[in-house]
Amino acid sequence: MIGYGNSMFLATHGILARSGGAAPFVNQYSMTFDGVDESVTTGNIDFTSAISISFWMKTTDTGSLNSVIAKDDTSTRSWNVIWRGSSSGLRRLIFFVVHTNNTSTAIQSTANILDDNNWHHILCTYTGTTGTNGMKIYVDGVLNAQGTSASTGIKSTNRIVTIGKLSNTNDWFFSGSVDEVAMWNADQSSNISTIYNAGDPSDLTSLSPNHWWRMGDGDTFSTNWTLIDNGSGGVHGTSVNMESGDRTTDVP
């Protein structure tokens, strides 16, 4: 009879002992937004050079303009990741950046599969330069769209980063589920395979994200949700008009 307390057996079979060792990474929860008045506010995260934004989304939203994550109120603008649903005739994701000289660049995905009520991973990257194909959108681990930016850098603004709508204004509400939102002040294109992880969200700690909101895992609810920033930045999120039931076990 094999003794399950034997450390050699545990190590050989990949079984983690209950005492000692790091707990395994588990993705149990996501957050669902109603497209009417629900969002998560974070803080004035002001990346002015390169940026990468990673998240998982699930939607059937048909609206014409819906911000998944933004530092943008349409008048004071830095960047935005926008879902344009079928009512606009697009069914596309748009990645929009305003540069330090007030010019802007926008690229849009070519895949029209994102509103199929299945989970999809998105990575938007900008190198911070005018280099060829300096802006990219990856969908489910594959390069989907790219374009050359009009200028360098990202315009500094005092707008807060918001998940589920525009910043600082009640408009462009997103309807759907969002999970594992992470941001870096660097181009993470070379790490897309690690981030996407063959369609299974994984621990991003080794990639040192500046900000990483797990959208339910490790978060707490008391009147509003407090979403812990698991990145180095320590900018926690606070839900607006969301209920405890908006954390669900539907995950990628």
Q: Domain coordinates of the chain in residue numbers?
A: 28-248
Higher pLDDT, 21 or 100: 100
Per-residue pLDDT band at 23 (split at 50, 70, 90): confident
H helices of 13-97, in order, are none
What integer is the mean pLDDT of 84-110?
Answer: 95
Cβ atoms of 84 and 64 within 8 Å: the answer is: yes
The better pLDDT of the pair 76, 2 is held by 76
Strands (E), the chain: 30-34, 39-41, 51-58, 66-72, 77-84, 92-98, 104-108, 120-126, 135-139, 142-147, 162-163, 175-184, 211-213, 220-222, 224-227, 237-240, 247-248
- What CATH fold (topology level) applies to the domain 28-248? Jelly Rolls (2.60.120)
- Give, in degrees to the nearest 5, the angle at Cα 44 between 39 and 45: 100
Per-residue confidence (pLDDT) for residue 111, from 0 to 100? 81
Q: Is residue 228 scored above 80 in pLDDT?
A: yes
pLDDT in tens, 114-150: 999 999 999 999 999 998 999 999 999 999 999 999 9
Tell me: pLDDT of 224 over 80: yes
Q: Is the pLDDT of residue 10 over 60?
A: no
| Residue 43 burial (10 A CB sphere; 0-12, 13-18, 19+) | middle
Q: Which amino acid is at 46?
A: D
Residue 89 pLDDT class (50, 70, 90 cuts): confident
